[in-house]
Amino acid sequence: MTIKITRQPAFSGYFGKVKLNIDGYSKVKIKSGETKVIECDRREVILQVKEFGSWSNKLSVNEGDHVEITKKSWDFWYVFFISAFSGIYLMFSPVAIWITFIWILFITAMPFFLFPTYELTKIE
């Protein structure tokens, strides 16, 4: 069985590769803007993207399906607003800068572990 997979170009994660899990096992790495054709032994497989704790929905695919990997829009805006808030907060904060910096890193990283960052969809 063959499956065609396309990863849409995105600003964040542009230079990195994401792991595409097929039935729970990491089989393929795909970079931004790349299209790959994957051969599988089964008639139906479940795909999911994982990268540094980020993940996607699980998608069941069959022979000849074309799957698209996209980034969720909240990813860019969340990082943008946290960065802007952090800069303003650091300018006016009486607290030690290193403590504030560690707290900001923690807040920035948490949603990527709690919410899906990627989305898998079938293209007709």
Q: Given pLDDT bands bounded at 50, 70 and 90, which one contains residue 107?
A: confident
Q: Are 121 and 70 in contact, with CB atoms under 8 Å apart?
A: yes
Tell me, rounded to whole angstroms, the distance of Cα 65 from its chain centroid: 21
Give the pLDDT confidence score for residue 11 in this predicted structure. Answer: 64
What is residue 57's three-state secondary structure?
A: coil
Whether the pTM exceeds 0.85: the reply is no
User: What does the pLDDT average to over 34-61?
Assistant: 90
CATH topology of domain 2-123: Immunoglobulin-like (2.60.40)
- Average pLDDT of the chain, as a whole number: 82
Domain positions in the chain: 2-123
**What does the buried/exposed string (b/e) look like for 47-58 if buried means 16 or more CB atoms within 10 Å of the residue's CB?**
bbbebeebbbee
CA torsion, ordered 115, 16, 5, 23, to nearest 10 deg: -60
Q: Given pLDDT bands bounded at 50, 70 and 90, which one contains residue 9?
A: confident
